[in-house]
Amino acid sequence: MTAPAPRAGILDIKAYVPGRSSLTDSRGRRVIKLSSNESALGPSPRAIEAARTAAAGVVRYPDGSSHDLRQAIARCWDLDPDRIICSNGSDEILQLLPRIYAGPGDEVLYSQYGFAIYPIAALAAGATPVSAPERAFRVDVEAMLAAVTDRTKLVFLANPNNPTGSVIPAGDVARLRAGLPNHVLLVIDSAYAEFVTREDYTAGAEFVHDSANTVMTRTFSKVYSLAGLRVGWMYGPPAVVDALHRVRGPFNVNAVGQAAATAALDDPDHLQRAIEHNGRWLPQLTRRLRAIGLDVPESVVNFVLARFPGGPSQATTAERFLASQAILVRDLGAYGIPDGLRINIGLDDEMEALIDSLTHFMGRT
C-alpha cells in the first residue's frame, strides 16, 4: 500500500530539540530550569494582568494585524508601524523568510554556531544551508563574506548569538551588510538585544531604515518572559513585510499574547529590573565557573557557554549529574559543541545551587 510521502529532503532534516523542561522523577524537589534562556524574574505583573483580562475574550479571533501591539512597538523603538509585522514567536519569521526568498538550488548562509533553526528553515524550503566558520565562538565577518556565492539568497546573523552568547559590534555588522550583494537578504536576529549593555552594539534597526534587503527580528520570549505565549516581530522593508503577510497565518498571534506583550512594553521598570539582575549575575557566574576549571567565553546575554576540560564525556556526565540534583541545563552536542553546556541565569538561590553542584562535580572528577 502506498502512502503520502514528504518531498525530497524533508526527512533529512534533524528536528529541533529544545532544552529539557522537566524531569521524569524529581522526587518532589523543585526543578531548577536553566536550559532555555528564559528570563529569571518572569513577566511583568502588568503583562500577567493583561493576559488574564484578554483570556476572558478568547471566544473571539484575535486582531489579525496585531494593530495595538505594532503601535506599541513603534512607540517604544521609534519605528514605522507599517514596517512591523508580528508573529508567532520570531521563529515564525525565521521559518517563513527562506520559504519566500530561497528554494532548490539556492543557499542560506549562517555562522558555525548559529541558532539551530536556521539550517532547518533552509532545508524545509528546499534550499541548501551553508555554515561559515567562527573564530573563538564569535561570528567572523570575513569568513561569512567568503562563503557568499551567486546562489546565496539569505544570510542569518544571530547577534547576540545563541548558544555562544557572543556579539559583534555595529561596525562589523555594517561591514557584513556592505559586503553582501544586493540580492541577498540579511536577517539580523536580535532576540537577546535587551540584555546587551555594550556601547558598540546595535540591535540593527538603523540597518533596516534605508535598506531594501535587511530585516531585524525580535522576540518577547526572552527579557520580557512571555515565551509561553509565542510573540515575536520583525522590522523590515515594505516589500519584505508585504511578502510575509501573503504567506503567514491569518491570525498568527493569539489575543492573550498580543495583550500581554503590549502591556509588557508599558512597564519599563520591570524591564530594567530584569536587565539589572542579569547584569549582576552574568559576570559573577562567569567568574565562579572559571574558578572551578571551566572554560567560559565572554557572554553579553542571559546565559553562558561552559566548556569542560575533560571533553564531551565530562560535559555529558555533568549534565546528568545536574539533572540528578533537579537542575536542568542545555547539552550542546547538537550545536557541534559536545564539550559544552549552556546555562542561563536564574534567581539568586538557583544560581547558588547550580554553582555549588558544579563545584562538587568538578571536585570529584
Percent of the chain whose predicted confidence (pLDDT) is above 90: 91
- Return the H-helix or E-strand segment holding 257: helix 255-264
Domain at 45-264, CATH from 3.30.1180.10, 3.40.50.300, 3.90.660.10, 3.40.640.10? 3.40.640.10
Kindly indicate the confidence band of residue 17, based on its pLDDT and cuts at 50, 70 and 90. Answer: confident
What SS3 state is found at 8? Answer: coil
Bridging pattern class, strands 330-331 and 340-344: antiparallel
**CATH classification (class only), 16-42+268-364:** alpha beta
Instruction: DSSP for 90-122, please give it.
Output: HHHHHHHHHHHH--TT-EEEEETT--THHHHHH
**pLDDT recorded at residue 25:** 62
Q: How far apart (Å, rounded) are the C-alpha atoms in residues 286 and 299?
A: 8
Instruction: Calculate the average pLDDT of the chain.
Output: 96
Kindly indicate the confidence band of residue 29, based on its pLDDT and cuts at 50, 70 and 90. Answer: confident
- Return the H-helix or E-strand segment holding 174: helix 170-179
pLDDT in tens, 206-216: 999 989 999 99
Which part of the chain has CATH 3.90.1150.10?
16-42+268-364
pLDDT in tens, 222-232: 999 999 999 99
Check: CB of residue 281 under 8 Å from CB of residue 345.
Answer: yes
Bridging pattern class, strands 152-158 and 107-111: parallel
Kindly report the length of the chain: 365
**pLDDT recorded at residue 27:** 67
Residue 89's nearest CA partner among 185, 230, 225 is: 230
Q: How far apart (Å, rounded) are the C-alpha atoms in residues 125 and 101?
A: 9
Half-sphere exposure of 70 (CA within 13 A, CB side): 18
Q: How far apart (Å, rounded) are the C-alpha atoms in residues 248 and 271?
A: 29
Question: What distance, in Å, lies between the first and last C-alpha atoms of the chain?
Answer: 55
Q: How far apart (Å, rounded) are the C-alpha atoms in residues 332 and 344?
A: 13
In the predicted model, is pLDDT for residue 247 greater than 80? yes
φ/ψ bin of 242: left (φ > 0), alpha (ψ from -120 to 50), beta (otherwise): alpha
Which pTM does this prediction carry? 0.95
In the predicted model, is pLDDT for residue 24 greater than 70? no
In the predicted model, is pLDDT for residue 338 greater than 90? yes
pLDDT in tens, 144-189: 999 999 999 999 999 999 999 999 999 999 999 999 999 999 999 9
Non-local (6+) Cβ contacts of 241 within 8 A are 82, 83, 84, 85, 234
**Biggest CA-to-CA distance, the chain:** 63
Which part of the chain has CATH 3.40.640.10?
45-264
| Assigned C-alpha cell, 290 | 572559571
